[in-house]
Amino acid sequence: MHDIAAATLPSGTLLPSLGLGTWKMGENARTASQEVESLKRGFDLGMTLIDTAEMYGEGGAETITGKAIEGRRDEVFLVSKVYPFNASRKGVIDACERSLQRLKTDRLDLYLLHWRGEHDLEETVAGFEELRRAGKIREWGVSNFDVEDMEDLMEVEDGENCAANQVLYNLSRRGIEHDLMPWCQERGIPVMAYSPIEQGRILRNTELIRIAKAYQATPAQLALAFVMRARNTIAIPKSGDPHRVEENSGAARLEISREDWAALDAVFPPPFRKQPLEML
């Protein structure tokens, strides 16, 4: 896995703690070929986890992903997500089938409920379990679930089979460190962090720039290293630029001192109390 540390699903399956996001991909025909190249470059660098969703570009991102994984499906850990309004028992199965067609593959490694919607969790989980038995997905999980949602899920039949929770997490949004992250860590459920560099907004922070320079790193690399420093936490930055993907991969090699993490805590303070789960 190059020098990218591994995260572990409850089943024991290993996956890289630095992967590739695809949000906003597949929306522009002019940039499509570069997006495909960016993803392929990521695979070459060991970022073999790829995260997409039927929502992204209304299937466009899955189509781009399908092109990138062509001929390389077995080296990639493939994640997609189902819209909440498609998450009835039958709806999940139909949505998964459509995603598999766009991705040009026969299986997903991980299938997530994008956020909690109007369908009962029992129905969604029953659909996920049916897909698992059919070999269409290897594992399933959730996204944008707070502790209360996770506890509700655990009470549903087969709810304890949840393999991951994908949430918004970065230096400027650390609320989950108070309760959700420890809750997941206790149960061996990895946290997948989307928008790990806050879509670039935090990269102008002077302290982040100062510390990154000390390690001959970029602010983005340091921000990604922060996300990955938590146990069993996976960062999935999106980039449609192969050079940026190469830069991102360098985050896996950073070893930051305790003093410098403390300096970042001073600028981006950890939470002192429960905060509502943030979403983008």
Q: How long, in residues, is the chain?
A: 280
CA distance 45 to 248: 10
- How close are the terminal C-alpha atoms of the chain, in Å? 30
For this structure, is 215 an active site residue? no
Taking CA atoms, 275 is separated from 76, 189, 202, 250, 269, in Å, by 35, 20, 20, 31, 13
**Residue 229 has which token pair?**
């420093």
Strand extents, DSSP E, 195-237: 233-235
Choosing from 56, 111, 169, 194, which is the catalytic residue?
A: 56
Show the 3-state SS of 122-159.
HHHHHHHHHHHHCCCEEEEEEECCCHHHHHHHHCCCCH
Q: What backbone torsions phi and psi does residue 255 show, to the nearest 5 degrees?
A: -125, 110
Which residues does the annotation mark as catalytic? 56
